[in-house]
Structure 1
Amino acid sequence: MRALRLLLATTARVLTQIRHDHRSVAMILVIPSLLLAAVYFLYENETLPPGMPRTFDRVGLVMLAIFPFLIMFLITSVTMLRERTSGTLERLLTTPLNKASLLFGYALAFSVLAAVQALVTLAVAYWVFQLDVKGSPLLVAAVCVLNSVLGVALGLLCSAFARTEFQAVQFMPVVVVPQILLCGLFVARSSMNSVLEAISNVLPLSYSVEALQEIGRSTDPTQTLWQDLLTLGLIAVGLLLLASGTLRRRSG
């Protein structure tokens, strides 16, 4: 019970800290919607035959997974590194709270922010840009929230291997960009060569994109969708457990 109170206290402290960081709040709540707007206006003047779905409905749907994933990875890795370099983690680890509980406290705080971010971006996509997909918006929301949490888990893990904020940012072209290139957005995974397809099959973002594509093409949930959701959940938990095992008190 005491560990639970400390975990919730850690969650509340992180949320309060980020609430006072206006730049972080803007990145979490505003930037994904602005990026989605850029995608919308990119295809605004396209000419389509009658009955043909908009390109934005296909590309914008996938971007609902990519943008939150990218932003939450960046925010989480940098914030966690600040906690370590400031000595906050060292103080917290002197309490009865173990590493796993501590990290899950951070994960819970960032996951709350991730959920709010996903809901704001979805509201903009559906109400402002009239996103039209066959599947349920609730399923889209579930994938987006889960994908944001995945970005949180990956950010927490990568922050353990960085000593400065600049190094934390450098993980983006190593960890995030390859996933964007190989997730199936630009080329179908089945059309890739065997090496790239094998790499794509172990990247978390590939399952997020596949899940959203399943929602986009089918009115009812498919078996592939449920499998992708289960895979994403297991990957997120696994990353958090790995991150707890690499958690260090201070950077350096």
Structure 2
Amino acid sequence: MSVTGGSVSIHHPAQHRTRARLSPQPYLATTGRILRQLAGDHRSVVMILAVPALIITLMYFMFQDVPHRPGVPAPFNNACLIMLGVFPLIIMFLITSITMQRERVSGTLERILTTPLRRVDLLAAYGTAFSIAAAAQATLACVISFWLLGLDTAGSPGLVFVIAIVNAVLGVGLGLLCSAFARTEFQAVQFMPVVIVPQLLLCGIIVPRDALPGWLQWISNAMPASYALEALREVGAHPDLTATAARDIAIVVAFAVVAMALAAVTLRRRTP
């Protein structure tokens, strides 16, 4: 390629920048940065790891002397299964939405998006980092529940672990999506009563889904937490993976993928 006063090779830096966009290095660097940031935030570490384990332990002592009929699962088993599904969703939603909003307000997000890192790569980095944190949370909660507190399920503890991680990834996706519509960290927290609380009310924890009015059943069927809880109950009642549990897990994964995709589409560099 010739220009006045000399020539420029076709292998000029712009081409290298284009190739760099496809390199995994920015994605891995961003994932590592988020993990280091999480590790340095001791309150977040306690919230992710210690709080679920402490509350499940408290529930164990609450239900320890509650009588139950022979052949019926102990009250602690039912309550613990619910918590193992609910905690990852709630905590990862809060941590993700607040952290993403903090990145945006501080200007970090805008600086990141001026690098070769694309929006999809950025969301994948957040998803990866928080999924690792969710795996650590689920591991600690399941170890304490099954091996220290005596949680007993007909199905494999590994399936409970998988469902807990899937719920956490769903919380990450919903948190990333909601953070795009918040202007402050407080507004990000305010999305919890709008997005999370209705799911907890209608997923069958308080009132069985089949006992809800018809129009509420339709709403419940459109909420991922309903399928997450149903999958956990299937694992608690059946020794093998049932078709219902497999379907429910697939539905929750699909919800998580859609939430991540919508988060990538709605991602803004900064809050107006």
TM range (shorter): over 0.9
**What is the aligned residue count?**
252
Deviation by residue 1:60-117 (Cα, 9 ceiling, x = unmatched): 1111010111111101100010111111110111112211111111111111101111
Please say which structure displays the higher CA radius of gyration: 2
1:21 aligns with 2:41: yes
Deviation by residue 1:193-239 (Cα, 9 ceiling, x = unmatched): 11111111011111110100100110011001111111111111110
Which position in structure 1 is the counterpart of 2:182? 162
1:39 to 49, 55, 59: 59
Q: Secondary structure at the match of 1:141?
A: helix
Structure 1: 4+ residue segments shifted above 6 A: none
Same amino acid, percent of matched pairs = 52
Which position in structure 1 is the counterpart of 2:250? 230
Partner amino acid for 1:135? G
In structure 2, C-alpha distance between the alignment counterparts of 1:151 and 1:49, rounded to whole Å: 36
Which position in structure 2 is the counterpart of 1:7? 27
CA contact (8 A) 2:96 2:176 kept: yes
User: What TM-score comes out, normalization by structure 2 length?
Assistant: 0.90
Which position in structure 2 is the counterpart of 1:116? 136
Q: Which has the higher contact order (CA 8 A, sep 6+)?
A: 1
Q: Where does the alignment leave 5 or more consecutive residues of structure 2 unmatched?
A: 1-18
In structure 2, C-alpha distance between the alignment counterparts of 1:52 and 1:209, rounded to whole Å: 19
CA contact (8 A) 1:28 1:117 kept: yes
Which position in structure 2 is the counterpart of 1:30? 50
Which position in structure 2 is the counterpart of 1:101? 121
Give the drift of 1:39: 2.2
Give the drift of 1:48: 2.3
CA contact (8 A) 1:35 1:67 kept: no
2:101 to 74, 81, 88: 81
Q: Once structures 1 and 2 are overlaid, which stretch shifts more, 45-54 or 18-27?
A: 45-54
Q: Secondary structure at the match of 1:156?
A: helix
CA contact (8 A) 1:65 1:143 kept: yes
User: What TM-score comes out, normalization by structure 1 length?
Assistant: 0.97
Partner amino acid for 2:222? V
